[in-house]
Amino acid sequence: MVRSYIPKSYGEALDILSKGDLTIMAGGTDLMVKKRNRAGLLPSFQKDVLFLSGIKELSYINKENSSVRIGSMTTLEEILYSKQIPSLLREAAAIMASPGIRHTATLGGNIGNASPAGDTLPVLYLYNAMIIIESKRQTREVPIEEFITGPGRTTFGPGELIKEIVLEEAKFNVLYYKKIGGRKTDAISKVSFAAGAFARNGIVEDIRMAFGAVSPRVARDRGIEDSIKGTPAAGILDLAEEIRNGYGNIINPIDDQRSNAKYRKKCCMNMIDDFLGKVFAEQ
């Protein structure tokens, strides 16, 4: 028999977590599916469960100077309708799941779940998201790339939870987001792609690309990005093949019941081209 804890405050949640090994429910829209049992039977949780989503202190969106701080229990629906949130993240939220799920699912949950197909993740990578993790003893800040270590795997330590997500301000004048699912709503990504670039006076000053659902973790390669920065936008299409080859090495999709590796990879390559075409057009 597992116990359920519904803390009234953030402090209480940290207290409870400090005393035992618990499963954290941060909306539960994926967890309840993972733990589902036969119809009519209780879900099969092995550990006690801490319900975080009722904690109001963790639900906020604050724009501070150059960054946006998002409480981990902010729902995707709140993200979708907040003007403080970068448009790419709102776009990702808009085509996630269905309204019912978006009202319950949280940004912290999507990160903690660490699915390679998590729909907000490529955008969070793009904005160099810092994950603020707290336990009763300490607070630490970890870049999202380091926080998620593999499918369903993170660097969570005992007693820790995600307090907030900090998005660094980024200046883009070309934005690109595409999620490819089996249908327009309520679908798990076959592939997703988020990208942004800033071109000024014909020079690409910044460019970032992140791919979801095509490798164990979201794929972003700063080396490739750095190699493009400073080049003329007018010449970017000449680099396209080299860029595609670069990403081709880090994108390793699989065949599964939703799609196949060949399609996933081809779409990534096409989206790179499509995005670069938009950067070219921005010169």
Partner 1 sequence: MSDISKSIPKSDSAGKIAGETIYIGDMVLDDMLHAMTLRSVHAKARIKSIRLPEMPEGYFIVDHRDIPGDNCVNIIFDDMPVFADGKVNYIGEPILLAAGPKRKKVKEIIDSIEVEYEPSEPVFGYSKSVVHHEFEKGDAASVFCKAERIIKGSYSTGYQEHIYMEPQGVIGLYEDNKTTVIGSMQCPYYIKNAVVRTLGTGQENVRVIQAATGGAFGGKEEFPSLMGCQAAVAANKTGKPIKLIYERTEDIETTTKRHPSRIDFEAAAGEDGSIEALRVRVFLDSGAYIGLSGVVLQRAMIAASGVYTISNLSVSGDVYETNTVPNGAFRGFGAPQMFFAIEMFIHHFAIETGQDPLALRKRHLASMGDPTSTGGTFRDPIIMGDMIQKAIDMSGYDEKIAEYSKPGDHRGIGMSWVLHGCGFTGSGEQKHIKAVVRLRKEKDDMVTILAANTEMGQGAMTTLRKIAAGVLGIPIEKVIYNNPDTDLVPDSGPTVASRTVMIVGGLIARAARQLKEKWVPGKEILVEERYRQPDYIEWDEDKLRGDAYPAYSWGVNVVEVEVSPVTYEVDLKGIWAVYDIGKAIDERIIIGQAEGGLSQGISYGMTEVMECREGRIQQRNMTDYIIPTAGDCIPMEIVIMDNPYPLGPYGAKGAGELPLVGGAPAVALAIENAIGKRIDRIPATPEYIMELMENG
C-alpha 135/C-alpha 162 separation (Å) is: 9
Q: Cβ 113 to partner 1, closest distance in Å?
A: 14
Q: Nearer Cβ to partner 1, position 46 or 257?
A: 257
Q: Which residues pair with 153 in a beta bridge?
A: 150
Q: Cβ 270 to partner 1, closest distance in Å?
A: 4
Kindly list the residues in this chain that would bind partner 1 in the complex (CB under 8 A): 33, 37-41, 98, 178, 180, 182-188, 191, 257-260, 262-263, 266-267, 270-271, 273-274
Q: Cβ 262 to partner 1, closest distance in Å?
A: 8
| Backbone phi, psi, residue 230, to 5° | 90, -10
Q: Nearer Cβ to partner 1, position 9 or 270?
A: 270
Conformation bin of residue 213: beta by default, left when phi > 0, alpha when psi is -120 to 50? left
Q: Cβ 47 to partner 1, closest distance in Å?
A: 19
Q: Nearer Cβ to partner 1, position 13 or 96?
A: 96
Burial 143-171 (b: 16+ CB within 10 A, else e): ebbebbeeeeebebeebbbbbbbbbeebe
Task: Starting at the earlier edge strand, list the strands of the sheet with 22-25.
Answer: 4-5, 48-51, 22-25
Length of the chain: 283
Q: Cβ 186 to partner 1, closest distance in Å?
A: 5
DSSP state letter for 34: H
- What one-letter code names the amino acid at 134? E
Q: Cβ 272 to partner 1, closest distance in Å?
A: 10
Q: Nearer Cβ to partner 1, position 18 or 98?
A: 98
Q: Nearer Cβ to partner 1, position 21 or 33?
A: 33
Cα 114–Cα 59–Cα 151 angle in degrees, nearest 5: 0
Q: Nearer Cβ to partner 1, position 51 or 275?
A: 275
